[in-house]
Amino acid sequence: MTGTGGAVSHPCSALEGEVSAPGDKSVSHRALMLAGVAVGETKIDGLLEGEDVLATAAALRGLGVEVERTGPGRWQVHGRGVGGLVEPEDVLDMGNSGTAARLLLGLLATHRLTATLTGDASLRSRPMRRVSEPLSRFGAAFHGRADGRLPLTVVGAGAPVPVRYELPVASAQVKSAVLLAGLNTPGETVVVEPSPTRDHTERMLRHFGACVQREEGGVVRVAGEPELVARAVSVPGDISSAAFPLAAAAILPGSRVTVTGVGLNPGRIGLVETLREMGAGIAVANERVEGGEPVGDITVAWRPLSAVDVPPERVPSMIDEFPVLAVVAAFAGGTTRMSGLAELRVKESDRLGAMAAGLAACGVAVRESADTLEVEGGRPQGGVGIASRLDHRIAMAFLVLGMGAREAVRIDDIAPVATSFPGFVGLMNGLGAAIEA
């Protein structure tokens, strides 16, 4: 992280205004990686310039790809073609991004090279075996710490063989890693997922010219050794970042906030569905398709909120939004129940434990189990300090809570916010928040 520093979020009145969210992090990572193995020059507009994505750009440069920033959010990538990445001379530092690390391992697994990936303290604590195990089936070898944790060295398969892999647990990252490994593998690689996950990788692969098919039963097929061709990419706003101003509007009486140009991928809009079920006034306008992704403008107008039960089958479509949903639940009438949340234990932090502890410290009644969280609504007291645990979403979630609590909430370190939402404090204050950084 660049720099450290805390912040205090003071109670405030209604939020009002129209803003745009930073570029979608998931799409940004994939745009850079696939442009790196396409033929020709890809121009990307709206790329997220947070630390996570910049780490991906730096890693690609280490692998021989020409990556250049030409203006704010504007980048161009000169690709090397499928199978054209070269062995890096140094360790590839993926910063804080589990998505970037897991997807890049997929690309590297079927290249004839050796590379070592590392990251910050948070990323080094996250398990990678969930991707190294299926990727080893292509013929790659992995050498790392317990549970495949970084630093992790991948020795790519010299003669990769296609794989059919059935995901034990729904995971877009694991699915994507296997599909990307299949690009440089002769024949057809198949992934079977137990329930639908976000499909950014499939959409982006098709955008660059790959043959990707989805069949009933969660079967996804990719034909190996395509010639990917450079295509312009327009990155939509990140629904996971837009979630914070939208959630703040949902809890502050009288608020009305619009976030423009937000990605509306069906595999990502679980939070919007849940807020609507809770009673928030939600409208979506100007719907369109950009770069293969559905996009629109989302408006949230405050209305009294009621508790809901969030079904486990919705978890993949809002896995990153549960921290801020838990905050919204603390302001809703009744008890909100969320289940199927085991994945939150192995994010940038143990997000389930972090939210339960932080909410309790703010005076909210919570009940936590291995994969569930129950939150009793009302109005949190606040007036405490919260440890961000090097997790950008924990930091932003509790900054939102402080806006509606009875007393201010202090966050020990908001530097991690730069990984996904540069300018977060300024954007929120521009809507009417009172955050001192």
The residues assigned a catalytic role are: 320
Separation CA 258–CA 277 (nearest Å): 19
Separation CA 328–CA 331 (nearest Å): 5
Separation CA 403–CA 396 (nearest Å): 11
310 by Cβ neighbours in 10 Å (0-12 / 13-18 / 19+) ranks as buried
334: left (phi over 0), alpha (psi -120 to 50) or beta: left
Separation CA 404–CA 244 (nearest Å): 13
Separation CA 34–CA 160 (nearest Å): 19
Q: Which residue(s) pair with 118 in the sheet?
A: 93
73: left (phi over 0), alpha (psi -120 to 50) or beta: left
Q: Give me 118's structure tokens.
A: 């590392």
Tell me if 143 sits within 8 A of 362, measured CB to CB. Answer: no
* Alpha carbon distance, N-terminus to C-terminus of the chain: 16
Question: φ and ψ at 343, to 5 degrees?
Answer: -60, -30
Separation CA 327–CA 362 (nearest Å): 11
Q: Which residue(s) pair with 68 in the sheet?
A: 76
Spatial CB neighbours of 306, under 8 Å, sequence gap ≥ 6: 278, 279, 332, 333, 334
- Answer positive or negative: Cα dihedral of 28, 32, 38, 41: positive
Q: Which residue(s) pair with 69 in the sheet?
A: 75
Please state, as a whole number, how many other Cβ atoms lie within 10 Å of the Cβ of residue 313: 12
Please state, as a whole number, how many other Cβ atoms lie within 10 Å of the Cβ of residue 212: 18
Give the number of C-alpha atoms closer than 13 A to the C-alpha of residue 49, restricted to the C-beta side: 12
Please state, as a whole number, how many other Cβ atoms lie within 10 Å of the Cβ of residue 399: 29
Cα dist from 35 to 40, 95, 306, whole Å: 8, 21, 45
